[in-house]
Amino acid sequence: MNEFPKVLENVSLELGKQKDRYKISIETKVDNPLVTIDSFNRQFQLGEKEREAVKLGWNQEAGNTMFHVVNAYTRAAQFEGLPAEASYRLQKVGGAILGMVKYSPIPNKIKSLVSLSW
């Protein structure tokens, strides 16, 4: 019971980080989202069914920010007929991509620090 306040504090800090990442992802423009998605698909070694689901997810979540790219993966995970393992993997990939989004060291500028050239 003595650990409970510490656990709540840690949860609160993590939720704050997630909120910041979502905000940054909304502000991070992506010049060519489909090329970015193809690069992430290769980087995370997605299978054919997973890549097809991401395409369908993109059709529903299309846009020009990292927020839209992340949402394509999490939307893809929700499609009926996709094996549970693939759904879980797509959720994890979306979270990993979101986790790669960080503040730029330049004040008032936002950029994504992922290992891709956009």
Domain assignment of residue 56, given as a range: 4-112
Tell whether 117 is covered by a domain: no
Please indicate, yes or no, if residue 75 is contained in any of the structural domains: yes
- Asked whether residue 105 is domain-assigned, the answer is yes
Number of domains in the chain: 1
Q: Is residue 73 a part of any domain in this protein?
A: yes
pTM: 0.74
Which amino acid, one-letter code, is at 91?
Answer: Q
Q: Does residue 24 belong to any structural domain of this protein?
A: yes
pLDDT tens for each residue of 17-73: 677 776 887 888 999 999 999 999 999 999 999 999 999 999 999 999 999 999 999
**Considering the domain boundaries, does residue 118 fall inside one?**
no
Closest CA to 110 of 1, 8, 3, 20: 20
User: What residue type is 108 in one-letter code?
Assistant: N
